[in-house]
């Protein structure tokens, strides 16, 4: 199906960008008098993130190490089917499937090699297309399927084995971006990443999205919160790109935030041009900025804000209409004073008010019934009380259009048993 090479994709995409230049505000036809349509109530999103990095939610390690390719394919497909059937039982209506966890893909691509989580080997064809399969199976069950992507991460570590595996893709159908463009590669948070400050990197990421949207019947594309992702002991060294491209900016932080804005703008424009019905969203860190740093910020005292830590001005994206939805990760309980759940839910609802961006709130299913000294509410009544409070607020607060659970495997864990039973009672189909 995908016969074009990465080079031909780049040329086609470059032509598309040229055609789109200056066309951000498309001319609208004149409105004609008409009878107002009957307003239809849209069902709120009841979603779950399905993580493939490290095979956390899927595929199972047993399927990867099984004795034959045919058995591996059978196991992996049956595992997905079982997960989707369980989602239907629980009343979940939207799946956020991690189709690109790093610099590899769980779908057939001319730009990315196959993910090793499928076979144990980077670039090895798994014998079927997991994304095409999960889309088909989800749609048969009335579930929407969004492709969840990590835009800049190449690897999960920097080990010699990982480097050797990436370099070996030079001899496969699709070489890793690590091997093709070593000048784009940096280290951050002890992982190999792409430098967001390079225009050619942002163009390449947008090509990845364009290819995906063009070839798959997905309902949406979602970026996670890994834009500039660095740790104090493993910073992203972008000195060269800062010196080359940062001249008009007062400081590196503003320049980095502008780079992140640029990729959001580019991806938003391409999706709306290719398939306007495909939603584009981001799942950022739950705190934009603290009120102590910006009077427009939330009454929180959290450390890793999207604005400062990830160089992502998520509030600006909402205001500029670049997103169809935003799904902030509000992974705290009501009782966590430094970052109260209700404080942040109200802040985000106020932020999207008057815009065309829908708000789906990400909640921490993985914390349910997990003892924590600073968040004891998660263990009360097996975690059901806190989960109920959060869902009650989400479903009653104007401006909140849905809830997304992190993550799928915790729908099956003993610690969440009572919470999942409660979800089925609340969301599940009534017999």
Report pTM: 0.91
Residue-wise pLDDT for 62-108, tens only, equals 999 999 999 999 999 999 999 999 999 999 999 999 999 999 999 99
Compute the distance between CA of residue 192 and CA of residue 178 in angstroms, rounded to an integer. 8
Domain assignment present for 21: no
Compute the distance between CA of residue 64 and CA of residue 119 in angstroms, rounded to an integer. 5
Number of domain units in the chain: 1
Compute the distance between CA of residue 158 and CA of residue 54 in angstroms, rounded to an integer. 15
Domain assignment present for 182: yes
CA-based radius of gyration for the chain: 22
Domain membership of residue 125 as a residue range: 42-427
Stretch 332-360: mean pLDDT, rounded? 98
Domain assignment present for 15: no
Domain assignment present for 19: no
Residue-wise pLDDT for 11-38, tens only, equals 444 544 444 434 333 333 333 333 344 4
Domain assignment present for 23: no
The pLDDT confidence band at residue 430, using thresholds 50, 70 and 90, is low
Calculate helix-pair angle for 69-90, 417-427, nearest 10 degrees: 60
Stretch 325-343: mean pLDDT, rounded? 97
CATH of the domain at 245: 3.20.20.80
Domain assignment present for 285: yes
Domain assignment present for 195: yes
Compute the distance between CA of residue 127 and CA of residue 119 in angstroms, rounded to an integer. 10
Compute the distance between CA of residue 283 and CA of residue 149 in angstroms, rounded to an integer. 10
Task: Give the strand pairing for 279-282 and 144-149.
Answer: unpaired
Stretch 180-206: mean pLDDT, rounded? 98
Compute the distance between CA of residue 14 and CA of residue 207 in angstroms, rounded to an integer. 9
Domain assignment present for 66: yes
DSSP state letter for 383: G
Calculate helix-pair angle for 130-140, 69-90, nearest 10 degrees: 30
Tokens standing for residue 242: 């800062």
């Amino acid at each position: 199906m995908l016969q074009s090479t990465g080079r031909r994709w780049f040329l086609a995409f470059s032509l598309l960008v040229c055609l789109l230049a200056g066309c951000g505000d498309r001319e609208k036809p004149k409105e004609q008098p008409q009878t107002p349509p009957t307003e239809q109530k849209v069902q709120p999103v009841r979603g779950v993130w399905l993580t493939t990095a490290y095979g956390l939610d899927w595929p199972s390690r047993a399927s990867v190490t099984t004795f034959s390719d045919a058995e591996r394919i059978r196991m992996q497909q049956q595992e997905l089917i079982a997960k989707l059937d369980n989602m239907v039982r629980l009343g979940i209506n939207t799946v956020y499937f991690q189709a690109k966890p790093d610099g590899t893909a769980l779908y057939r691509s001319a730009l990315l090699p196959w993910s090793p989580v499928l076979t144990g080997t980077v670039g090895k064809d798994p014998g079927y297309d997991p994304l095409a399969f999960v889309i088909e199976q989800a749609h048969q069950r009335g579930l929407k399927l969004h492709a969840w992507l990590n835009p800049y991460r190449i690897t999960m570590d920097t080990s010699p084995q990982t480097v050797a595996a990436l370099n070996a893709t030079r001899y496969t159908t699709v070489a890793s971006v690590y091997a093709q463009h070593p000048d784009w590669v940096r280290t951050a948070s002890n992982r190999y990443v792409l430098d967001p400050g390079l225009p050619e990197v942002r163009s390449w990421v947008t090509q990845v999205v364009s290819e995906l949207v063009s070839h798959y019947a997905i309902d949406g594309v979602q970026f996670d919160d890994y834009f500039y992702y660095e740790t104090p002991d493993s910073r992203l060294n972008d000195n060269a790109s800062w010196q080359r491209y940062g001249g008009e900016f007062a400081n590196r932080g503003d320049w980095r935030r502008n780079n992140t804005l640029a990729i959001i703008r580019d991806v938003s424009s391409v999706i709306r041009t290719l398939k306007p019905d495909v939603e584009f969203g981001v799942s950022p860190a739950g705190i934009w900025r603290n009120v102590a740093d910006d009077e427009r910020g939330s009454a929180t005292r959290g450390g890793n804000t999207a604005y400062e830590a990830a160089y992502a001005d998520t509030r600006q994206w909402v205001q500029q209409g670049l997103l169809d939805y935003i799904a902030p990760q509000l992974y705290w309980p009501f009782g966590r004073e430094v970052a109260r759940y209700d404080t942040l839910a109200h802040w985000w609802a106020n932020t999207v008010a008057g815009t065309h961006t829908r708000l789906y709130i990400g909640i921490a299913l993985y914390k349910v019934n997990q003892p924590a000294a600073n968040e004891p509410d998660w263990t009360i009544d097996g975690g059901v009380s806190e989960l109920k409070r959060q869902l009650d607020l989400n479903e009653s607060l104007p401006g909140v259009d849905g809830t997304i659970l992190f993550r799928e495997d915790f729908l099956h864990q003993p610690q969440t048993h009572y919470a999942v039973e409660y979800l089925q009672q609340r969301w599940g189909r009534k017999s």
